[in-house]
Structure 1
Amino acid sequence: MKKTDYQYALQPDWQSEVILENTQSKHQHCVTINLADGAGFSELNIEDFTWLLAFSYQSTHKKTQGSIAIVESNDSVVSVFNTQYFESGEEGTRYLNLSGMLNNNAKSVATLVFKHCRLPNYGKLLAFKKPDFSDGPILILAPHADDAELAAYGFYRDFAKSTWITTINAGQNVQKLEKQYIPSLDDNMRAAVARKAAIRAWNSMTTPLLAGVPLEQLSSLGYFGLTKNALYNATKEVQKDPILAELTPQVSRQWNRIFLPNDLPNKSSGEALVMDLASLLEQIKPTTVLVTEPEIDPHPEHVMSAHALALAIHESTHTPERVLMYVNHLRHIKTFPYGPEHAKTALPPWFDETSVFGTFSCYSHQLDIAAQKEKVVSFDTMHDLRSKPRVGKMLKRWWNKKVLKNGYQYYGEHVYFQTHIKSNEVFTLVDGSVFSDALIGKASLDKAI
């Protein structure tokens, strides 16, 4: 059994020890979460908080994922919609997302039905105050077309009229001609690179319309070749695409309705990106900004995007009240969030209780089934999420779905159609000034070393 403890620099607004007490039920394995002490729980408005249960998880199966369902009573129905899944063959501290599932009983707050795992006799209930997202505009920074949808389609759907979405990178890279979106459409790499950049810009500018985000609040910046190093050490260096040297950010900006400093210079450089983002902050004046989590998400352009925001906040006259961070990539893990489509999920795997931000909060956004299905459609509009079916993979899925009845729907060929169609979108949360100062300070310290 592999032992791994999930660890985060979480700072809850309220917490209490709880007792996980075995209870009689039609389900074989069932426990009730009882408060170890009152601790003011009855005085809290449950809907005002994101709720996590920290507990010691132990898998009992080498291949089958453990599952924990949150139900209203001992005899309630267990379904994928109220179930969260965890690693097979592992044990250690985990977090169960109880948001939207607690009751008002001051003693017994929830009932858990578990399978293919063991639960301890105690845990810790954590509560995080939800921000008021109606307090101003929301700006979502997507490193690439589809990042905003993967992480936050349900979130921005619910705040569509006050949401602005900016896609930073052109995403023009083509590995080889056989990897074009449409086979044999272009017969040389230069044409294929230009077409892919144009298509990804089109994706980023049209998909949010499904959720009701106005076209005037969408923008695509078309940067390429930028790294964290380019932001701090080579700010004025203009990047050239190795295949299409004449490529410029303008390929992605043709549908923009907002004017930015780099529209006319039209160059891909760290300095230009920071100026554009600073201008967006000043024009939109968002109280909330969403961006990729630079400590957990390892994708170089995702890390770069977070640092670009930090520098833009420093350069801008406007500082957002809060920054929400999301994770779309994980090191060596491709199946998180775990479990079938529509299951519950919580924070991604992470194993360090310290953070460059000091401490942070947590926010879980609930998606009803209609929003989840609409999110499936948004994925289908993204060319980069269109994978080609393979015979072996199709047979394996048929066997798993029809014979083993594993609960998956397999809406699309790309794995994101399974992992990212969940009933929650979960973010970490820090103050805007803290976000900027922490990342810039860390970069300066790394440079000095």
Structure 2
Amino acid sequence: MKMEQIDYQYALKADEQYDITISLESSSKCQYKLNIASQQEHFQALNVTDYTWLLEFSYCAQHKKKQGRIAVTDNEAQISIENSQYFEPNQQGIRYLNLTSENSQNISNVSEKTLFCDNCSLSETATLLAFKKPNLSAGPILIVAPHADDAELAAYGLYQDFAEQVWITTINAGQNVQKLSQQYIKDLDSDMCDAVERKAKIRAWNSRTTPLLAGVDYNHISYLGYYNITQTCLYETPHEVKLDTVIGQLNSQKERSFNHINLPNDKNFINTGQALIDDLVSLIEQIKPSTILVTDPEIDPHHEHIVAAHAVALAIQKSDYKPDNVLLYVNHLREIKKFPYGPEHARTALSPWYNSESVFGEYSCYSHQLSMNTQKEKVVALDSMHDLRSKNRIEKNIKQWWSKKIIKSGYQFYSNHSYFQTHIKSNEVFAVIDAFEFSECLCKER
């Protein structure tokens, strides 16, 4: 059965790498063993908890429709969702298995690792990649969210673990209403202008309150309320005032009055690209973050997510203070809606990507582990976001019941929205780039 050949490719630069052999121990159980082929003494001398570990291997699906699953266990321990990672059906090619678990010390005994495969097979050789973890404790962490819910989807576990030093700012008002029948509350407003203004108010409320669940200081949460800002607004027409297509000027000034950090555009709010850059410069210079999190402008195709990254790059370039690192996250993918794959609580790695060259040159990888309790708290955080509340549909309910009760797929279906399946995982994974390189390369590329 021939599978479609698709290789994952990244501009990754590992700090350490090791040749690995993969031996088939039991064909009936699809059971494999890992062994380090070289540099074993050097590997054992590492402080393994200081690294993110990815196994680069050749994957081959064995089913046209069922996802391949690889469970990573110690000495044939019990297979569970938490130690399983899922891959595409009907494909073969280079993939990356995340070996970074909550108990990272286990990676020190690679020879005791047993891989159990379901609906897939592995190559005989692989490469173990080690990426030095960024020092997130070095200073404040600024998370830049294009919209309410982006910070939670990508990094709720990370920002809960570093809650005392985390700052979160939300750029966009997120006011767009496609039609009156798609309001958060059915028939609440009969006028589109009222519906647009109400949605902006609700999303501002969401962005301010949800981080409190993780213990983030309310004074560290800010809302900017921009709308319809494009890359052209940032680079070519920075002083042009952009209007909303329905109501013209959206009054974001009132919502910004709750910010506890003073910003240049507070007093007389003006919706321009330059004002957005100036606000971000002010945030960076006041907070002095060692790390900034923002969306990946190469992989995430949402136009406002791309604008957020460019605005941060321009702000870093203009700021007198320079952060150390930028961590890039991905919440949307081109033509792929079910990644990260598999049921809730499974492992995940970097988003699918197919280009070994990047505008940023080479970059690192960081996998942040979430305990089961943190994953469940992330479910509650996502449930607090109005935009992630999906309506019940009979067809969807039947499919979920069939999947859960009959097929026993392992899915919990905490909510009707697909993000509750894709983004409740045991890892949150980021690309890591030097902040100066991020700024210079992205601005130059534009």
User: What TM-score, normalized to structure 1?
Assistant: 0.96
Inter-partner Cα distance in structure 2 for 1:104 and 1:339: 23
Query: Are the equivalent residues in 1 in contact too, given 2:55–2:126 (CA < 8 A)?
Result: yes
Inter-partner Cα distance in structure 1 for 2:58 and 2:334: 23
Report deviation, 1:264.
1.6
Inter-partner Cα distance in structure 1 for 2:396 and 2:381: 23
Inter-partner Cα distance in structure 2 for 1:49 and 1:346: 14
Q: Where do residues 306-317 of structure 1 align in structure 2 (5 Å cutoff)? A: 306-317=309-320
In the other structure, the counterpart of 2:30 is: 29
- Per the alignment, in what secondary structure is the counterpart of residue 59 of structure 2? strand
Report deviation, 1:24.
5.1
In the other structure, the counterpart of 1:272 is: 275
- Per the alignment, in what secondary structure is the counterpart of residue 123 of structure 2? coil
Inter-partner Cα distance in structure 1 for 2:52 and 2:206: 32
The percent of aligned pairs where both chains have the same amino acid is: 56
In the other structure, the counterpart of 1:59 is: 61
In the other structure, the counterpart of 1:332 is: 335
Inter-partner Cα distance in structure 1 for 2:254 and 2:310: 24
Q: Where do residues 60-75 of structure 1 align in structure 2 (5 Å cutoff)? A: 60-74=62-76
Q: Where do residues 264-413 of structure 1 align in structure 2 (5 Å cutoff)? A: 264-413=267-416
RMSD: 1.2
In the other structure, the counterpart of 1:90 is: 91
In the other structure, the counterpart of 1:189 is: 192
Report deviation, 1:107.
6.1
> Comparing 91-100 with 243-252, which one deviates more in the overlay?
243-252
In the TM superposition, what whole-angstrom CA distance separates every residue of 1:247-298 from its partner, at most 9, and x where no partner exists?
Answer: 1332431321111000123011100000000000000000000000000000
Report deviation, 1:29.
1.1
In the alignment, structure 1 segments of 5+ residues that lack a partner are 444-449
Report deviation, 1:402.
0.6
Inter-partner Cα distance in structure 1 for 2:247 and 2:279: 23
Query: Are the equivalent residues in 1 in contact too, given 2:228–2:244 (CA < 8 A)?
Result: yes
Query: Are the equivalent residues in 2 in contact too, given 1:248–1:268 (CA < 8 A)?
Result: no
Inter-partner Cα distance in structure 2 for 1:104 and 1:435: 31
In the other structure, the counterpart of 1:208 is: 211
Cα 1:104/1:233, change in 2 over 3 Å: closer
Report deviation, 1:396.
0.8
Residue identity opposite 2:130 in structure 1: A
Inter-partner Cα distance in structure 1 for 2:107 and 2:65: 37
Report deviation, 1:102.
5.8
Cα 1:102/1:91, change in 2 over 3 Å: farther
Instruction: Kindly indicate whether residue 205 of structure 2 is the aligned counterpart of residue 199 of structure 1.
Output: no
> Comparing 131-140 with 145-154, which one deviates more in the overlay?
131-140
In the TM superposition, what whole-angstrom CA distance separates every residue of 1:325-360 from its partner, at most 9, and x where no partner exists?
Answer: 000000000000000000000000000000000000
In the TM superposition, what whole-angstrom CA distance separates every residue of 1:142-192 from its partner, at most 9, and x where no partner exists?
Answer: 000000000000000000010000000000000011010001111100000
In the TM superposition, what whole-angstrom CA distance separates every residue of 1:384-414 from its partner, at most 9, and x where no partner exists?
Answer: 0001010111111111111111110000111
Residue identity opposite 1:176 in structure 2: K
In the TM superposition, what whole-angstrom CA distance separates every residue of 1:201-223 from its partner, at most 9, and x where no partner exists?
Answer: 00000000000001000000000
Query: Are the equivalent residues in 2 in contact too, given 1:310–1:440 (CA < 8 A)?
Result: yes
Instruction: Kindly indicate whether residue 86 of structure 2 is the aligned counterpart of residue 81 of structure 1.
Output: no
In the other structure, the counterpart of 2:155 is: 152
Residue identity opposite 1:189 in structure 2: M
Inter-partner Cα distance in structure 2 for 1:264 and 1:314: 25
In the other structure, the counterpart of 1:248 is: 251
Cα 1:312/1:258, change in 2 over 3 Å: same
Instruction: Kindly indicate whether residue 223 of structure 2 is the aligned counterpart of residue 220 of structure 1.
Output: yes
Instruction: Kindly indicate whether residue 118 of structure 2 is the aligned counterpart of residue 115 of structure 1.
Output: yes
In the other structure, the counterpart of 1:166 is: 169
Residue identity opposite 1:30 in structure 2: Q
Query: Are the equivalent residues in 1 in contact too, given 2:99–2:107 (CA < 8 A)?
Result: no
Inter-partner Cα distance in structure 1 for 2:87 and 2:109: 28
> Comparing 277-286 with 33-42, which one deviates more in the overlay?
33-42
> Comparing 263-272 with 108-117, which one deviates more in the overlay?
108-117
Which among 164, 176, 179 is matched to residue 179 of structure 2? 176
Query: Are the equivalent residues in 1 in contact too, given 2:75–2:112 (CA < 8 A)?
Result: no
Inter-partner Cα distance in structure 2 for 1:198 and 1:157: 25
In the other structure, the counterpart of 2:52 is: 50
Query: Are the equivalent residues in 1 in contact too, given 2:348–2:426 (CA < 8 A)?
Result: yes
Inter-partner Cα distance in structure 2 for 1:114 and 1:72: 14
Query: Are the equivalent residues in 2 in contact too, given 1:205–1:255 (CA < 8 A)?
Result: no
- Per the alignment, in what secondary structure is the counterpart of residue 262 of structure 2? coil
> Comparing 163-172 with 253-262, which one deviates more in the overlay?
253-262
Inter-partner Cα distance in structure 1 for 2:51 and 2:25: 27
Inter-partner Cα distance in structure 1 for 2:244 and 2:419: 28
Which among 123, 126, 145 is matched to residue 129 of structure 2? 126
Inter-partner Cα distance in structure 2 for 1:278 and 1:16: 41
Inter-partner Cα distance in structure 2 for 1:319 and 1:413: 42
In the TM superposition, what whole-angstrom CA distance separates every residue of 1:47-87 from its partner, at most 9, and x where no partner exists?
Answer: 1100000000000001110000110112x100000000000
Inter-partner Cα distance in structure 1 for 2:182 and 2:33: 52
In the alignment, structure 2 segments of 5+ residues that lack a partner are none
